Amino acid sequence: MLDKKLIKEKIKLIQEDLLHLKDYQNLSFDKVARDYVTHKVIERIIEVIINEAIDINQHLIVELGKGKLPFEYKESFLFLAELGILPKKFAEEISRSVGLRNILVHQYRKLDEKIFYHSIKDCLRQYSLYCSYILKYLDKTF
């Protein structure tokens, strides 16, 4: 059964993290790339935001009977487009954030600092939209 309360709690957590991430959006490239603590804080905020969204995606997909775990995290955003929860073009765009999450979590490849720096604003924009799409879906269907 779809747990609307759980989803809304996770959306609230994402929105709170987005507010914290906003504090870093106007920092210079040098500050983000060279300040260890600042870099790690931004990394962690972005990682947590993406993980919360993946959790929401998985819950929606499994509880709506459209898939079974496990499936690729990137695919979870694309599944939401198939379900009509996210627009297809947006789902394709936001699904690419999983690649950054994987680099941050697994450190299997050197992080491109310029991409990381630009990901701050991308994350703010994409995940704000993501939250609004999910909430709109919940309001529309339940």
Active site residues: 101, 106
What is the Cα 68 distance to its own chain's centre? 20
Tell me how far CA of residue 3 lies from CA of 9, 19, 108, 122, 139, in angstroms: 10, 25, 35, 28, 13
What is the Cα 109 distance to its own chain's centre? 20
CB-count exposure of residue 30 (10 Å: 0-12, 13-18, 19+)? exposed
Q: Do residues 18 and 128 lie in contact, with contact meaning Cβ atoms separated by under 8 Å? A: yes
Q: Do residues 122 and 90 lie in contact, with contact meaning Cβ atoms separated by under 8 Å? A: no
